[in-house]
């Protein structure tokens, strides 16, 4: 999903001009970002949740040279899909496989 996709959905749903819809999409994305920064989490019911997780320092392998490299501790944002989203995605995957098998 992109900002343009959100803008197009807003324009289609509301009929507002694309320039205003683009600003609204940017504001929505900014609000989600700010919530993740402030609280470390953001949840959209029926969709899923984003949460900040700390990562430990570790040793990894450079894929080109095979040399061991130290990776610093840090943080990342993880996404966990809601059960409804998982169920719908699985149903869509099964439908696509059946459609492909018929073709």
Average pLDDT over residues 58-85: 94
| Nearest-angstrom CA–CA distance, 43 and 13 | 23
- pLDDT for position 97: 84
Report the pLDDT averaged over residues 44-65: 94
Backbone angles phi, psi at 73, to 5 degrees: -70, 150
Q: In angstroms, rounded to a whole number, what is the distance separating the alpha carbons of residues 39 and 51? A: 9
Q: What is the pTM of this model?
A: 0.72
């Amino acid at each position: 999903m992109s900002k343009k996709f959100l803008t197009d959905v807003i324009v289609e749903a509301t009929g507002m001009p694309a320039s205003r819809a683009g600003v609204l999409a940017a504001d929505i994305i900014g609000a989600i970002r700010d919530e993740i920064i402030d609280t470390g989490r953001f949840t959209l019911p029926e969709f899923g949740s984003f949460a900040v997780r700390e990562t430990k320092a570790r040793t990894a392998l450079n894929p080109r040279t095979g040399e061991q490299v130290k990776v610093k501790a840090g943080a990342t944002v993880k996404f966990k899909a809601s059960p409804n989203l998982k169920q719908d995605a699985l149903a869509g995957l099964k439908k696509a496989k059946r459609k492909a098998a018929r073709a």
